[in-house]
Chain A
């Protein structure tokens, strides 16, 4: 008796699972060279040196006692699932970012680097 319904139920379950999966990656990215970062020396490196090595910054900020140059690269990974009645989407965006701080003479005072772009992951949204 129970077995009679097993097949239609299995077909129904399989039907619910029909759909499609999509994995996508969006890169605004080329990696920073960690060895190049070691070349930057506070008190010696100038804004021109940084621009010569890394190119134009993504953004600049005028600070109270100098300027900040921001270099940003991002990686976004998307996982999309379409089932019959349900759809799920998960987007994970991570960035590599370096911020250089210069004094009013354009000499490097500090810099900070966060290299997290490789942590972007595919996955379910729950």
Chain B
């Protein structure tokens, strides 16, 4: 009975020691960065040839970016989502013992952008509109796709 208790205690101590040794050596990190507010699908709210810059500004507010391409002006509404995860395993004790260390790490980051872009002619009338919601794509599936 005493031996069984001691064995269990020894196993716990051993497991704890291994765990303590690994802490700081083995680590998993996950990071998420969001910039901007949600961008909704505009559907048929804006009509090419009819909608003006003023209409878009009054309904969506200030764009995140403004660009000019010759006689065409672009208003861009954007939200970015960046996710990164990483796993690393290092044995720093070896640096003391053999003067070198072993570290294995894997890391993957993925940035996705929800973008709503309006093209206007020099009279300020809508010429084209493009919407893409990339944040709907699954993180891991997109990360590991070729």
Please give the residue numbers on chain A whose beta carbons come within 8 Å of chain B beta carbons, in ascending order.
4, 8, 12, 15, 61-65, 68, 70, 84-95, 97-99, 101, 109-116, 119, 125-126
10 pairs across A/B with beta carbons < 8 Å? A61-B67, A64-B71, A70-B66, A85-B22, A90-B31, A94-B36, A95-B35, A97-B63, A114-B62, A119-B37
- A120 to B, closest residue via Cβ: B34
Contact B23 A64 (CB under 8 A): no
Q: A112 contacts B31, CB within 8 Å?
A: no
User: Inside 8 A of B64's CB, which chain A residues have their CB?
Assistant: 95, 97
| Interface 9-mer from B41-49, B52-60, B93-101, B104-112 | B52-60
Query: Min CB distance, B8 to chain A, in Å?
Result: 8
* Residue in A15, A63, A97, A109 whose CB lies within 8 Å of B62: A97
Q: Given the complex, which residues of B lie within 8 Å of A116, measured CB to CB? A: 36-37
| Interface residues, chain B, with chain A CB atoms under 8 Å away | 8, 12, 16, 19, 22-23, 26-37, 53-54, 56-58, 60-64, 66-68, 70-73, 83, 121-124
Q: Is A95 within 8 A of B31, CB to CB?
A: no
Residue from A65, A91, A115 in contact with B122 in the complex, judged by beta carbons closer than 8 Å: A65
Q: How far is the CA of A65 from the CA of B61 in the complex (A)?
A: 20
B16 touches A91 (CB 8 A): no
> For the complex, would chain A's binding face be called helix, strand, loop or mixed by DSSP majority?
strand
When distances are taken between beta carbons in the complex, the residues of chain A under 8 Å from B28 are 85-87
Given A12-B16, A65-B122, A110-B53; A87-B29 close (CB under 8 Å): yes
Chain A: which residue is nearest B33 at the CB level?
A91
Q: Is the CB of B23 within 8 A of A112?
A: no
By the criterion CB–CB under 8 Å, are A61 and B68 in contact?
Answer: yes
The reply to whether A112 and B73 contact each other, CB–CB distance below 8 Å, is: no
Task: Report chain A residues within 8 Å CB of B22.
Answer: 85
Asked if B34 and A93 sit within 8 Å, CB to CB, the answer is yes
Residues of A close to B57: CB separation below 8 A? 99, 110-112
- Are A62 and B60 CB-contacts (below 8 A) given A12-B16, A91-B34, A101-B53? no
Contacting pair B70 A125 (CB below 8 A): no
Cβ contacts under 8 Å, B34 to chain A: 91-93
Smallest CB-CB A-B distances: 9 pairs: A112-B57, A114-B61, A125-B32, A64-B122, A112-B62, A89-B31, A93-B35, A97-B62, A91-B33
Q: Which residues of B contact A86 (CB under 8 A)?
A: 27-30
